[in-house]
Amino acid sequence: MSSTTPTTQSWQGRTVLVTGAEGFIGSTLVDLLVERGAHVRVLVHYKPYAERGHLARYLGPGSPVETLAGDVRDAGRVMDAVTGCDTVFHLAALIGIPYSYASPEAYVQTNVAGTENVAAACRRHGVRRMVHTSTSEVYGTARTVPIREDHPLQPQSPYSASKIGADMLALSYAHSFELPVTVVRPFNTYGPRQSARAVIPTILAQLHSGAQEIRLGSTTPTRDFTYVTDTAEGFLALAECDRAIGHAVNLGTGREITIGDLAQSLIRASGRPARVVTDETRLRPAGSEVERLLSDNSRARDWAGWVPRVELEEGLARTSDWVRDNLRLFAADRYQV
């Protein structure tokens, strides 16, 4: 078999760890793994209160999901979680860009040190594959488009700087210790379960709350939006792709849209007329705004056979319906960083 040919393996009966499994992408990935018959172990952030979250349906006797409470900053707990695993999907991270301006050290501890803990545990236990989650934010404002994986990395926020550090650390384990790790770089993922810190649910929560004015930051940047199930399928495909070991791989659609045009699309999808106004509290600091993101997804297509399947208009309609039906989860009148 050619090294560029994606492998096809069954997940049936394989033990898989997902860090950050309670999150938007993580919980969707857990769903796909359970559907495919994997024994899923999840490392979730310890909480002393009875929050059930996106994994609620898996909490109980006979569940195919084994839940471990912990923190990726705790090397010992991570070492325990990785024990006996075939594959580790590392999604745990601090992700909000605005909060990274206020607390950059927390991003270094969770995103960089936490990734080192996961990589060290994967090395120690000899896992078949570690899949590390990056972000398109590491590229900063595009110098050339579409953005290939060899595009310069530009730390335009403490968040993106921490993710660049985490990516490089994960890849260093491939070069130094032959750890079979792949760095997955999703472009802007959206869909059901996403929190209001992201632009699409922010807009939809305002619309479905009856707002006549949609308050946004800059509306001129462009983004490449990928529906969440497509992103999760990309994780699974790359976990089985030997060609991707030691490399970063983009997951994006290759289609860009301005935030302003996105807002108009969401107004149409929701059926709730409104006008867009600029809220200065939502603007990023000068020099930090990423003006353009547009992916080249050739590696994912050619190496792993991954193809995004949900068109933007369909995905926005699905997401609008979900936000409408779960509006209680959103504080539409407050800017969530």
Name the residues annotated as catalytic.
159
Polymer length in residues for the chain: 337
Question: What residues pair up with 213 in beta bridges, in sequence order?
Answer: 275
CB-CB contact of 68 with 41 (8 Å): yes
CB-CB contact of 180 with 245 (8 Å): yes
Q: Convert 119-152 into a string of H (helix), E (strand) and C (coil).
A: HHHHHHHCCCEEEEECCHHHHCCCCCCCECCCCC
Helices 259-270 + 199-208 axis angle, to 10: 40
Q: Give the pair of three-digit tokens for residue 140.
A: 């900063």
Taking alpha carbons only, the member of 210, 199, 204, 224 closest to residue 279 is 199
The three-class DSSP label of residue 261 is helix
